[in-house]
């Protein structure tokens, strides 16, 4: 039996295309994706890789503004798109937008199973905002099934009283083969790649938005506490853009000795080069539902230093095996982890091999298999 599955999600993110392609090619699944917008230029500078899309999709007419720090996105034609798509199952990629509530109401009114695809974890709970939490509970109670990327997100739903039997895991994934191949090519021409991007011979890598929540300031403080001889040998490359970039560049300029590169926002092809030539990824975030840069780095054969609040850390990073885990904001822990990976060459190489071994379990097809179980096994009621 073939099921018509309609997914509503925000934008055409490059890291979602491979998993949607895999789902569309899964026997028994007839996929259609409705995007609320093509991209969000106020947040990301991602290229939209339309040439890679191998699934049916459409982009709704929309209006987007930043209002008092909130991302307001309003859509036209939600109901018409759903009627035209004729879904057997509707999957909603979040609950932050009015379109998601419209789609949920439409599906329940027609006795069509509505599932929530959620990445939130306990570290993302909004304290002191009871109306928001009440609305969230109302939304969750109106869904018949849930799809999560891993254990952290599953525990989050459990905190709302959602039973395990209606929660399905579709492990977050990126295009492992693309990143592995691109990283290997970069290593084969390491000298040329370093010269082109102005990279140090040895460096720790940060990839993400330049905002306080990502822990850039903590990372710079930790790097400054490393022994001077180590800082002369190992640099710090911070890839990304955002409102905090200028301040981070100023802070880095005060640290001596030290080697710093701020290449700005990079597309996936250039990022793979940075991963391929780095010693390790450092992910010092204070809040992150997942963190797909961890997947990308591991696919490129890197050990990872990550904070314990990120969703990806729970499922991808094993302390002492393929990296190190530290508490968010723990500068001493971050210093210790960076020092260990910089000084223990043999141990770092072992962690790199373990990263490659582990990330092989997190593929686009694995995600598609978990998603398929969710849409085929969910019922109209709990």
Look up residue 266 and give its DSSP letter. Answer: -
Topology, domain 176-359: Rossmann fold (3.40.50)
- Give the start-to-end residue ranges of the domains of the chain: 3-173+363-377, 176-359
> What is the pLDDT, as a whole number, of residue 124?
59
Give the Cβ contact number of residue 381 at 10 Å.
7
Percent pLDDT > 70 in the chain is: 97
Checking if the pLDDT of 177 tops 80, the result is: yes
How much is the pLDDT for 317?
98
Cα–Cα distance measured from residue 319 to residue 305, given in angstroms and rounded to the nearest whole number: 9
Based on its alpha-carbon atoms, the radius of gyration of the chain, rounded to whole angstroms, reads 21
| Cβ atoms of 313 and 306 closer than 8 Å | yes
Residue 349 — pLDDT band, cuts 50, 70, 90? Answer: very high
Task: Tell me how crowded residue 370 is: count the other CB atoms within 10 A of its CB.
Answer: 18
In the chain the first and final C-alpha atoms are separated, in Å, by 23
Cis link prior to 188 (omega < 30° from 0)? no
User: Can you tell me the mean pLDDT for 125-136?
Assistant: 70
Mean pLDDT over each residue of the chain, to the nearest integer: 94
- CATH hierarchy code of domain 3-173+363-377: 3.40.50.2000
Q: Do domains 3-173+363-377 and 176-359 have the same CATH topology?
A: yes
Q: Note the pLDDT tens digit of each residue in 1-38.
A: 899 999 999 999 999 999 999 999 999 999 999 999 99
Is the pLDDT at 292 greater than 70? The verdict is: yes
* Average pLDDT value for residue range 237-263: 96
pLDDT at 66: 78
Q: Are the C-beta atoms of 39 and 12 separated by less than 8 Å?
A: yes
Q: Tell me the per-residue pLDDT of 73-86, one tens digit each, with 9 for 90 and over.
A: 999 999 999 999 99
Confidence category of residue 274, pLDDT binned at 50, 70, 90: very high
Q: State the pTM of this model.
A: 0.95
């Amino acid at each position: 039996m073939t099921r018509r599955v309609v997914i509503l999600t925000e934008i055409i993110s490059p890291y979602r295309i491979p998993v949607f392609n895999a789902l569309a090619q899964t026997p028994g699944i007839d996929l259609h994706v409705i995007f609320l917008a093509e991209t969000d230029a106020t947040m990301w500078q991602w290229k939209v890789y339309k040439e890679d899309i191998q699934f049916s999709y459409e982009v709704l007419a929309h209006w987007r503004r930043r209002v008092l720090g909130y991302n307001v996105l309003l859509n036209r034609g939600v109901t018409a798109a759903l009627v035209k798509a004729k879904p057997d199952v509707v999957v909603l990629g979040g609950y932050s937008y009015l379109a998601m509530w419209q789609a949920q109401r439409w599906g329940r009114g027609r006795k069509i199973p509505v599932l929530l695809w959620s990445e939130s974890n306990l570290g993302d709970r909004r304290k002191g905002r009871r109306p928001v939490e009440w609305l969230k509970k109302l939304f969750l109670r109106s869904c018949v099934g849930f799809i999560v990327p891993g254990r952290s997100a599953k525990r989050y739903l459990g905190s709302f009283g959602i039973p395990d039997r209606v929660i399905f895991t579709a492990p977050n994934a990126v295009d492992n083969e693309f990143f592995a191949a691109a990283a290997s090519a970069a290593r084969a021409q390491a000298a040329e790649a370093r010269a082109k991007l102005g990279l140090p011979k040895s460096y720790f890598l940060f990839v993400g938005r330049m905002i306080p929540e990502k822990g850039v300031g903590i990372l710079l403080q930790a790097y400054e506490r490393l022994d001077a001889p180590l800082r002369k040998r190992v640099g710090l490359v911070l890839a990304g853009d955002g409102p905090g970039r200028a301040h981070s560049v100023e802070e880095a300029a005060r640290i001596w000795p030290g080697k710093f590169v701020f290449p700005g926002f990079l597309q996936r092809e250039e990022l793979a080069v940075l991963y391929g030539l780095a010693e390790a990824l450092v992910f010092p975030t204070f809040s992150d539902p997942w963190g797909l840069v961890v997947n990308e780095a591991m696919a490129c054969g890197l050990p990872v230093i990550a904070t314990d609040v990120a969703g990806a850390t729970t499922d991808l990073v094993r302390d002492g095996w393929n990296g190190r885990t530290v508490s968010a904001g723990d500068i001493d822990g971050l210093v210790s982890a960076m020092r260990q990976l910089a000084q223990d060459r043999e141990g770092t190489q072992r962690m790199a091999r373990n990263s490659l071994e582990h990330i092989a379990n997190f593929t686009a097809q694995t995600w598609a298999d978990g998603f398929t179980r969710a849409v085929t096994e969910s019922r109209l009621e709990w």
